[in-house]
Structure 1
Amino acid sequence: MNLHGIDLNLLVAFDALMVERSVTRAGIRIGRTQPAMSAALSRLRALLRDELFVRGTNGLQPTPRALELAEPIGHALAEIQRTLDFTQEFDPSSSTVALSIGLSDHPAFRFLPRLVAKLREVAPGITLAVRNFTSRDDAISMLDAGEVEMTIGVPPTSTGRILSVPLFEERFVCILRKDHPAIRQGLNLETFLSLTHLLVSPENDRFGVVDTALAKQGLKRQLALTLPQLYAAPALVASSDMIATILEGVVEASGQAERLYVGNPPIELDPVPFTLSWHRRNDTHPAQRWFRERVIEVFSV
């Protein structure tokens, strides 16, 4: 049977007739007149090639074919109703929806354990899928393609179809191994430039924010190592003579803080903002709106 030729309203009428066993009462149940219900029953009989309902002493009696169809049609209509209801309201305690989020490394380390704990507490049936990205342009591509519902990272390139709210900022700090001789000299600009540097660049650039700030003063630092793995830097610095300028939260979450000296950079560096971003087409989706609110809640703690 070609589904394109089936009017969903006929299935609604069939379900009402199964419940009420009366054309008149079935019409009242779904808001149709008696003639409209009679016409619907005629169309159902022609479509399914069966009488479906015959008159008996206690109203309409379903045929064996109607009884065979009653359960699957009722189930299908209930599923459609639940789907449509889901677009209007969202109950996290009973939902089994699957949600996805794109995360760069630092937000994943900083907030993912708290977010997962929150979801398990208030929405135990939800499945969360996490996707990694490094470039802000990758985040936009993932949102455009519908691969994730939202992303957390540095602000994406401004575009009207991508909506964002700020979540937090991270300031830069300089780290050296705890017993590095340069610490006794004081971490001034001269000492800073005399050291070999580790540059963390998730996008594999060899010119970072520190290099940009130094270039404005006609200065340049000596790079010993460039790597994309943010959380590898503290351990590498703790076991070497290199200095690194990285986000303060990375040091705190790395498990290496006790092995490191942490100080302020001798040059002015703006903090790094992190935002929650999502596609405009998902802005009013109840489950995704609820999830975004939980993400913001976790970051506000």
Structure 2
Amino acid sequence: MDKELELLDIKLLRLLDQLYATRSVTRAAEALGQSQPTLSIWLARLRKQLNDPLFVRTAEGMLPTPRTDALMGTVREVLAGLQRLSESGAEFDPPTARRRFRIGMTDASHITLLPRLLSHVRAVAPGVALEAGRIDGELARALQSGDADLALGYLPWLDAGFYQQTLYGQDWICLANARHPRVGSEAGKDWNLEAYQAEAHIAISSGTGYQLLDNALASQHVSRRVLLELPGFLGLAGILSTTDLIATLPRHIGETLARAAGLRVLPCPLPIPGFTVKQYWHARYHHDSANRWLRGLCAELFMKSA
């Protein structure tokens, strides 16, 4: 069996570099902060390992042998590589950065979170672009690989290997046309569970939060007469504004739609478990300065005000 190759110590590589540059043991010792006897010991080790004198004493100083000349390019590449490895990565600088962030989010977040996030990013990091990605079965892989940087929402299935931070809590409200003929002119007037069951409803079929709603309805034996089912929030405000249908929504998206379309906000007449909207990121990028900046920005914008 061949003897295992003995790797050169980094301090011996530095000695080669300094001797080659200075042609002097004295000056090399000063540069390396070592004594001349120590450098003589190191040089003896090098000569033995490489089976070459490496430097010879002359009236002009320590001159390299042809073997040393041939080695120096590789030696300096190795030292430069080790230097790069030891340096910390450059910190993300928002005003000068040129970067695209991909954020997995629901269409509810497109309405509630994305406009504010985009506005702030444009103000503090004009070279940064945002891409809204989908919440689907590929999200975990995308976050792990770096194809996505962050995910926003209620995503309890993202667990092992992921960090998470709570942004805000959600309870449930109902929305109706401001001129609804049976609800009344004041929010909550004549509005109870019996009236809720008597009205026709719009159901949103997507999102993990809606599993909580469906489970609550089933467990409390509450039925809804659903006349329209939508995969998301596109068109919901317009439909509510022109019909007498009722929608049961998480508060943040419901109040956002109500303000934009002049809809009536009603209390939810049955208890539905609340949930928390969080931001999620993979452990691989926990110390990445760009990812850390984006997470900090989302926390600053949404933890207190949502």
> Which TM-score applies when normalising by structure 2?
0.67
Any idea what the Cα deviations from partners look like across 1:257-287, whole Å, max 9, x if unmatched? 4431211121112333111222234334444
Provide the C-alpha distance between the structure 1 equivalents of 2:152 and 2:44, rounded to a whole number of angstroms. Answer: 56
Provide the C-alpha distance between the structure 2 equivalents of 1:75 and 1:267, rounded to a whole number of angstroms. Answer: 69
2:192 to 188, 191, 214: 188
Query: Which consecutive residues of structure 2, in runs of 5 or more, have no partner in the other structure?
Result: 1-6
Q: Which residue of 2 aligns with 1:90?
A: 91
Provide the C-alpha distance between the structure 1 equivalents of 2:105 and 2:222, rounded to a whole number of angstroms. Answer: 34
Pair 133,190 (structure 1): closer, same or farther in 2 beyond 3 Å = same
Asked whether the 8 Å contact 1:235–1:256 carries over to 2, the reply is: no
- Output the amino acid matched with 1:189: L
Number of residue-to-residue matches in the alignment: 287
Q: Which residue of 2 aligns with 1:115?
A: 117
Q: Which residue of 2 aligns with 1:212?
A: 215
Once the two structures are overlaid, the 10-residue window that deviates more, 281-290 or 228-237, is 281-290
Provide the C-alpha distance between the structure 1 equivalents of 2:102 and 2:247, rounded to a whole number of angstroms. Answer: 33
Provide the C-alpha distance between the structure 1 equivalents of 2:240 and 2:130, rounded to a whole number of angstroms. Answer: 34
1:253 to 252, 256, 263: 256
Any idea what the Cα deviations from partners look like across 1:91-140, whole Å, max 9, x if unmatched? 535665665432223334333344345445555565655422157xx543
- Output the amino acid matched with 2:246: I
Asked whether the 8 Å contact 1:201–1:228 carries over to 2, the reply is: yes
Any idea what the Cα deviations from partners look like across 1:78-102, whole Å, max 9, x if unmatched? 6874565334x73535665665432
Asked whether the 8 Å contact 1:119–1:126 carries over to 2, the reply is: yes
Asked whether the 8 Å contact 1:110–1:253 carries over to 2, the reply is: yes
> Which TM-score applies when normalising by structure 1?
0.68
Provide the C-alpha distance between the structure 1 equivalents of 2:269 and 2:183, rounded to a whole number of angstroms. Answer: 13
Q: 1:11 deviation in Å? A: 8.3
Secondary structure of the corresponding residue to residue 269 of structure 1: coil
Asked whether the 8 Å contact 2:92–2:293 carries over to 1, the reply is: no
| Identical-residue share of aligned pairs (%) | 26
Secondary structure of the corresponding residue to residue 133 of structure 1: coil
Provide the C-alpha distance between the structure 2 equivalents of 1:145 and 1:42, rounded to a whole number of angstroms. Answer: 46
- Output the amino acid matched with 1:215: A
Any idea what the Cα deviations from partners look like across 1:17-70, whole Å, max 9, x if unmatched? 7865756645654678646579879999x9xxxx9xxx9969979x9xx9xx98
Pair 76,276 (structure 1): closer, same or farther in 2 beyond 3 Å = farther
Any idea what the Cα deviations from partners look like across 1:212-246, whole Å, max 9, x if unmatched? 32322323111112222224322221122321111
Asked whether the 8 Å contact 2:181–2:244 carries over to 1, the reply is: no
Provide the C-alpha distance between the structure 2 equivalents of 1:286 and 1:209, rounded to a whole number of angstroms. Answer: 36
Asked whether the 8 Å contact 1:20–1:26 carries over to 2, the reply is: yes
**Cα RMSD after superposing both structures:** 4.7
Q: Which residue of 2 aligns with 1:169?
A: 169
Asked whether the 8 Å contact 2:257–2:263 carries over to 1, the reply is: no
Pair 287,84 (structure 1): closer, same or farther in 2 beyond 3 Å = farther
Provide the C-alpha distance between the structure 2 equivalents of 1:254 and 1:8, rounded to a whole number of angstroms. Answer: 66
Pair 78,257 (structure 1): closer, same or farther in 2 beyond 3 Å = same
Query: Residue 156 in 1 paired to residue 156 in 2?
Result: yes
Provide the C-alpha distance between the structure 2 equivalents of 1:200 and 1:131, rounded to a whole number of angstroms. Answer: 20
Provide the C-alpha distance between the structure 1 equivalents of 2:225 and 2:244, rounded to a whole number of angstroms. Answer: 13
Query: Which consecutive residues of structure 1, in runs of 5 or more, have no partner in the other structure?
Result: 1-5
Q: How does 1:8-23 map to 2 (within 5 A)?
A: none
Q: Which residue of 1 aligns with 2:286?
A: 283
Provide the C-alpha distance between the structure 2 equivalents of 1:269 and 1:134, rounded to a whole number of angstroms. Answer: 25
